[in-house]
Structure 1
Amino acid sequence: MNKSVFLGTLAASALLAGIASAGTLDDVKARGELICGVNTGLTGFGAPDANGNYQGFDVAVCKAVAAAVVGDASKVKYVPTTGETRFTALASGEVDMLARNSTWTFSRDNDLKLDFVAVNYYDGQGFMVHKDLGVSSAKELDGATICIQTGTTTELNLADFFKANNISYTPVTVADDSEAQRQYLAGACDSFTTDASGLAAVRATMPDAENHVILPEIISKEPLGPAVRHGDNNWGDVVRWSFYALVAAEEKGITQANIEEVAASTQDPEVKRLLGLEGDLGAMMGLDKEWAKRAIAASGNYGEIFAATIGESTSIGLARGLNALYTQGGLQYAPPFR
Structure 2
Amino acid sequence: MKFGKVLFAAAAATAMTTAAQAGTLDDVKARGELNCGVATPLPGFAAPNAENVWEGLDVDVCRAVAAAVFGDPMKVKITPTTSKERFTVLQSGEIDLLARNTTWTLSRDVNLGFEFVGINYYDGQGFLVNKSLGVSSATELDGASVCVQTGTTTELNLADYFRAQGMQYETVPVATAEEGAKVYDEGRCDVYTTDASGLYSLRSTLSAPDEQIVLPEIISKEPLGPLVRHGDQQWGDIARWTLNAMIIAEELGITSANIDEMSSSNNPSVLRLIGAEGNMGEQLGLDAKWAYNVVKNVGNYGESFKRNLTDTLNIERGLNAQWKDGGLVYAPPMR
The answer to whether structure 1 residue 112 and structure 2 residue 109 are counterparts is: no
Q: Contact (CA 8 Å) 2:127, 2:196: kept in 1 or not?
A: yes
Q: Quote how far apart the aligned CAs of 1:10 are.
A: 2.1
Question: How far, CA to CA, are the matches of 2:42 and 2:167 in structure 1?
Answer: 30
Deviations 1:258-279 (A, max 9, x none): 000112x111111111111111
Match of 1:9 in 2: 9
Match of 2:191 in 1: 191
- Residue 187 of structure 1 aligns to a residue in which SS? coil
The answer to whether structure 1 residue 169 and structure 2 residue 166 are counterparts is: no
Q: 1:321 aligns with which of 310, 318, 323?
A: 318
Residues 37-52 of structure 1 mapped to structure 2, 5 A cutoff: 37-52=37-52
Question: How far, CA to CA, are the matches of 1:26 and 1:84 in structure 2?
Answer: 29
Question: How far, CA to CA, are the matches of 1:216 and 1:3 in structure 2?
Answer: 64
Match of 1:303 in 2: 302
Residues 261-272 of structure 1 mapped to structure 2, 5 A cutoff: 261-263=261-263, 265-272=264-271
Q: 1:333 aligns with which of 312, 322, 330?
A: 330
Q: Contact (CA 8 Å) 1:323, 1:330: kept in 2 or not?
A: yes
Q: Contact (CA 8 Å) 2:262, 2:271: kept in 1 or not?
A: no
Q: Quote how far apart the aligned CAs of 1:288 are.
A: 1.1
- Residue 328 of structure 2 aligns to a residue in which SS? coil
Range that drifts further, 239-248 or 279-288:
279-288
Question: Sequence identity of aligned pairs in percent?
Answer: 56
Q: Contact (CA 8 Å) 2:244, 2:331: kept in 1 or not?
A: yes
Residues 1-338 of structure 1 mapped to structure 2, 5 A cutoff: 3-263=3-263, 265-311=264-310, 314-338=311-335
Question: How far, CA to CA, are the matches of 1:247 and 1:261 in structure 2?
Answer: 19
- Residue 51 of structure 2 aligns to a residue in which SS? coil
Instruction: List alignment gaps of at least 5 residues for structure 2.
Output: none
Q: Contact (CA 8 Å) 2:143, 2:170: kept in 1 or not?
A: yes
Question: How far, CA to CA, are the matches of 2:256 and 2:281 in structure 1?
Answer: 20
**Count of aligned pairs:** 335
- Residue 312 of structure 2 aligns to a residue in which SS? coil
Question: How far, CA to CA, are the matches of 1:138 and 1:236 in structure 2?
Answer: 39
Question: How far, CA to CA, are the matches of 1:5 and 1:96 in structure 2?
Answer: 35
Q: Which amino acid aligns with 2:320?
A: N
Q: Quote how far apart the aligned CAs of 1:43 are.
A: 0.3
Instruction: List alignment gaps of at least 5 residues for structure 1.
Output: none
Q: Quote how far apart the aligned CAs of 1:160 are.
A: 0.4
Q: Quote how far apart the aligned CAs of 1:9 are.
A: 2.3
- Residue 142 of structure 2 aligns to a residue in which SS? coil
Deviations 1:68-109 (A, max 9, x none): 001210000000100001000100001000011010111111
- Residue 166 of structure 2 aligns to a residue in which SS? coil
Question: How far, CA to CA, are the matches of 2:64 and 2:293 in structure 1?
Answer: 7
Q: Quote how far apart the aligned CAs of 1:209 are.
A: 1.2
Question: How far, CA to CA, are the matches of 1:100 and 1:221 in structure 2?
Answer: 16
Q: Contact (CA 8 Å) 2:41, 2:47: kept in 1 or not?
A: yes
Q: Contact (CA 8 Å) 1:204, 1:315: kept in 2 or not?
A: no
Question: How far, CA to CA, are the matches of 1:95 and 1:47 in structure 2?
Answer: 18
Q: Which amino acid aligns with 2:130?
A: H
Question: How far, CA to CA, are the matches of 2:10 and 2:168 in structure 1?
Answer: 57
Question: How far, CA to CA, are the matches of 2:70 and 2:323 in structure 1?
Answer: 31
Q: Which amino acid aligns with 2:324?
A: T
Deviations 1:90-134 (A, max 9, x none): 000010000110101111111111111000000000000011100
Q: Contact (CA 8 Å) 1:247, 1:301: kept in 2 or not?
A: yes
Question: How far, CA to CA, are the matches of 2:115 and 2:155 in structure 1?
Answer: 22
Range that drifts further, 140-149 or 294-303:
294-303
Q: Contact (CA 8 Å) 2:185, 2:207: kept in 1 or not?
A: no
Q: Contact (CA 8 Å) 2:38, 2:79: kept in 1 or not?
A: yes
Range that drifts further, 84-93 or 6-15:
6-15
